[in-house]
C-alpha cells in the first residue's frame, strides 16, 4: 500500500483525488484549512501561507510518503490596477510561497523514488483575459518550481511534475462566476474556451494527477502536463 499526502484535499480537484486514490487501495492523508469530506481520512490542519503552521503540520507526518499532491490555491479575479495589495500578496503567499514552504518541510518525509505533483494551470502558458494576472504569474512559478525540484531531488529518484488544468468545475471557479455581471455567461465563456467546448469535472483532473503519481508515468519527470480540453492550442 502506498501512502500519499494531498495538500488541499478537502475540495475541488484535491477532494476528487482523495476519493480516487482511496479507491485504488492506497492510504491518503489530507492537509487543508477545512476538514475533509471523509471521516476515515487522516487530517492535519494547515495554512500554507504560514511558515510555522506548515512546519508544524509536516511534523505530524509519521510515515514515509510515496507521493505528494499539492492542489491548494486561491484566485482573485480583478484588473491588477484595481486589485488590493493584500489580495496580490495573499495569492503569491498561498499559490507559490506556500508550495515552496511545503516542499521544504515535506522533503524529509518523501521516500526514495516518491512522486510529486504540483497543480499549476494552463494560465502558466497564456495570457489571462479575465483579470487573473497575479494568479497566472504564480502558476508560472509553480511550473518552474516543479522542474527545479525534479533536478534538486534527482539523486533520491523523486519525480516531480506539474499538472496544468484548464477550467474545472471547482468551488473556486464557481465562485469566480458568481462575481461576474452575468455568471451564466461567464461559465459559457470558460466552456467555449476549450476545443472540447466544456469545463472539466474534478474527477477528470484527478485521474491525470494519479497518472503522474503512479508508476504509469515512471519515465515522466520535470514535465508540465496540460489538461485543458485543448484551450491553449487555438
24/233 Cα distance (integer angstroms): 33
Report the pLDDT value the prediction gives residue 130, as an integer from 0 to 100: 61
47/33 Cα distance (integer angstroms): 6
Q: Which of 211, 218, 214, 217 is nearest to 227 (CA)?
A: 211
217/184 Cα distance (integer angstroms): 37
Is 4 known to be catalytic? no
Write the DSSP assignment of 4-68 as a string of letters: EEEETTTSHHHHHHHHHHHHTT-EEEEEESS--S-TTS-EEE--TT-HHHHHHHHHT--S-EEEE
Catalytic residue among 4, 43, 105, 135: 135
Span 4-37, pLDDT tens digits: 999 999 999 999 999 999 999 999 999 999 999 9
Contacts of 65 (CB under 8 A, 6+ apart): 3, 4, 5, 106, 109, 110, 111, 114
- Name the residue ranges covered by the structural domains of the chain: 3-170+202-227
CATH number belonging to the domain at 3-170+202-227, selected among 1.10.3720.10, 2.60.130.10, 3.40.50.720, 3.40.50.2000: 3.40.50.720
Residues of the chain with pLDDT under 50: none
Contacts of 17 (CB under 8 A, 6+ apart): 6, 9, 69, 71, 206, 209, 210
Write the DSSP assignment of 166-184 as a string of letters: -SB-SHHHHHHHHTSSSHH
8 A C-beta contact, residue 103 and residue 145: yes
| pTM for the whole structure | 0.95
8 A C-beta contact, residue 157 and residue 146: no
Three-class DSSP labels, 123-146: HHCCCCCCCCHHHHHHHHHHHHHH
Amino acid at each position: 500500500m502506498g501512502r500519499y499526502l494531498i495538500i488541499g484535499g478537502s475540495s475541488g480537484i484535491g477532494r476528487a483525488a482523495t476519493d480516487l486514490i482511496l479507491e485504488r487501495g492506497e492510504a491518503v492523508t489530507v492537509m487543508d484549512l477545512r476538514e475533509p469530506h471523509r471521516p476515515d481520512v487522516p487530517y492535519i490542519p494547515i495554512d500554507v501561507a504560514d511558515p510555522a503552521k506548515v512546519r508544524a503540520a509536516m511534523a505530524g507526518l509519521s510515515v514515509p510518503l510515496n507521493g505528494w499532491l499539492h492542489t491548494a490555491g486561491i484566485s482573485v479575479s480583478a484588473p491588477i490596477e484595481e486589485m488590493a495589495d493584500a489580495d496580490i500578496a495573499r495569492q503569491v503567499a498561498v499559490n507559490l510561497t506556500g508550495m515552496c514552504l511545503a516542499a521544504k518541510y515535506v522533503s524529509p518525509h518523501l521516500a526514495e523514488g516518491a512522486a510529486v505533483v504540483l497543480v499549476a494551470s494552463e494560465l502558466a502558458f497564456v495570457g489571462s483575459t479575465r483579470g487573473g494576472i497575479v494568479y497566472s504569474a504564480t502558476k508560472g512559478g509553480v511550473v518552474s518550481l516543479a522542474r527545479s525540484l525534479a533536478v534538486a531531488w534527482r539523486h533520491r529518484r523523486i519525480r516531480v511534475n506539474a499538472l496544468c488544468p484548464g477550467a474545472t468545475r471547482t468551488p473556486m471557479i464557481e465562485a469566480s462566476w458568481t462575481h461576474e455581471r452575468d455568471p451564466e455567461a461567464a461559465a459559457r465563456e470558460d466552456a467555449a474556451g476549450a476545443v472540447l467546448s466544456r469545463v472539466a469535472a474534478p474527477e477528470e483532473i484527478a485521474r491525470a494527477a494519479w497518472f503522474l503519481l503512479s508508476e504509469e508515468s515512471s519515465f515522466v519527470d520535470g514535465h508540465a502536463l496540460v489538461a485543458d480540453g485543448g484551450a491553449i492550442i487555438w
